[in-house]
Amino acid sequence: MVRRFITYLLLGFTIVFLMIPLTPEASSHTDLRLMEEDIAELSNRLDKVETKSILDRVIIGGEFRTRMDYFRYKDTMTIGIKDDANTEDIWSNRLRLNLKVDITDDLVFHGRIACFKLWGESNFDEIANNSNYPSIPDSEGNLHVERAYIDYRIPDLHLSFTCGRLPSSEGPPSGMRENRLRKATWPKAAGDIEMDGLIASIYLDEWTDLENSLIRILYIKVYQNWLEYRGVDAKDSWGPAIVFETQVPNIDNSLMILGHSRIITLRPLEGLPGMTVASIPDKQGGINLTLFHIEFNNINEDGLDWFFTYGYAHFDPSSQGTLFTTGLELGIFGDNLSGNLGESKSGKIAHTGFRYELPIENWKNPKIGFEYNHGSKYWARFLNTGGGELINKLMVNGDAYELYYIQPIDKEKMFLRFGGIYMDFDYENPFIFYGSMTETDMTVTNAYLLLDVLF
């Protein structure tokens, strides 16, 4: 802007100087017309330079996925699905548009909007909310803001702040099976939902001997009861978290994360289809979550990646749950009919796997991978509702296995992935975590083929 002002100022002085009538010929209409054309040309060039300077700070990209799924259900307890059922081929598209703007050297904006839709019309009617919206197909193909946040790094200090719709879904090790770089800060098994909040990041590299080390302090707002929505005087759900992250000492391409978070008050159950609510409590208790994640990429430069995640959740439920006119009262992992309403519960998850890049250059170095995860009876499955897929294996209270193969078509921009997922449930709860867990022999088998294009 300063450069443009100076240019116009010099042009103005030039015009005034040239308009001084030294001779009758110097003030001719022809000369004035030529000068006006020169000024217009210079101004147009300057506009292009400024526009290019602004656009150089903007990075626009995207991801497009076409996917086909097949499902086999056995002894299911899932609402709306028969005890034993097969699906036909299910086709879907997912579009993501990514935006990054380097506003200044220390201030950056990140955004992502997404559309996830089954082909044609569908009767997929799973309830979507702000935490799992990207994983629920939209019948209209609407766009949804998945991420919108700013990063501000304070100059000359080892400190930065982040605020907005945070990058909290598709955390490590998602990059392995998704065949792309890390997309989030929080390990996928211990939290794969959309969250809004604030983060203060303190960089520790110069204060310690640890590379790529930092501490993140978070404030997260999960639910706000604006003006006692539907007459429910429920308390807001929010919580703090602290996360330490570093590269494993003396090991390149490695990552280690240790964190703890707490949700102060969990949102109460506000109702169920076909049942009338008699009363709703103002809170349903809280949850403490501790996690550990470690991963190694390209071990010994042999193309082998490996990871392990462990999460531990402890619930302190309220002794009062949502009461229905039938006399049934449901709380966090408990109900009055079973006599366990208000009892403390603990759950855990373990998630591990590997990926290996095959040394076949003629095939563009395809990759094979395997993952396994186990969720205990009271694992907090509601923490894993994102992902942009029709099924989420990390929500299982039991065991899940996945085997996949990645075939690049274009080395960096286009690839196929096909694989299979088998989920063997020990317990199931159709209401996620309200009411008691029920023993089950339910299994879900998923076979899929997808095509990803990055641009």
pTM, full prediction:
0.84
Question: Which residues face 358 on adjacent strands?
Answer: none
pLDDT in tens, 379-422: 987 777 665 678 889 989 999 999 999 999 998 899 999 999 99
pLDDT score of 194 more than 90: no
pLDDT score of 455 more than 70: yes
Q: Measured in Å, how far apart are the chain's first and last C-alpha atoms?
A: 32
Determine the average pLDDT of the residues in 196-222: 94
What's the pLDDT score for residue 149? 97
From the number of C-beta atoms within 10 Å of its C-beta (0-12, 13-18, 19+), residue 205 rates as: middle
What's the pLDDT score for residue 50? 57
Angle between the N-to-C axes of helices 2-18 and 29-55, in degrees from 0 to 180, rounded to the nearest 10: 170
Out of 27-36, 49-58, 273-282, 408-417, the most confident range is 408-417
pLDDT score of 325 more than 90: yes
State how far the Cα of 56 lies from the Cα of 321, in Å rounded to an integer.
Answer: 55
Task: Work out the pLDDT band at 7, boundaries 50, 70, 90.
Answer: very low
State how far the Cα of 382 lies from the Cα of 193, in Å rounded to an integer.
Answer: 9
Question: CA nearest 329: which of 272, 273, 291, 285?
Answer: 272
What's the pLDDT score for residue 402? 98
Share above pLDDT 90 across residues of the chain, in percent, rounded to a whole number: 56
Contacts 24+ apart (CB under 8 A), 46-54: 46/3, 46/4, 46/7, 50/4
pLDDT in tens, 66-97: 999 999 999 876 655 656 788 889 999 999 99
Question: CA nearest 347: which of 372, 373, 375, 374?
Answer: 375
What's the pLDDT score for residue 36? 65
Of 130-134, 224-228, 253-257, 391-395, minimum mean pLDDT range: 130-134
Contact 14, 38 (CB under 8 A): no
Read off φ and ψ for residue 245, nearest 5 degrees: -135, 140
Q: Could you tell me the two tokens for 49?
A: 């330079």
Q: Which residues contact 140 (CB under 8 A, 6 or more apart)?
A: 117
Determine the average pLDDT of the residues in 103-119: 93
State how far the Cα of 137 lies from the Cα of 118, in Å rounded to an integer.
Answer: 6
Of 55-64, 120-129, 420-429, minimum mean pLDDT range: 120-129
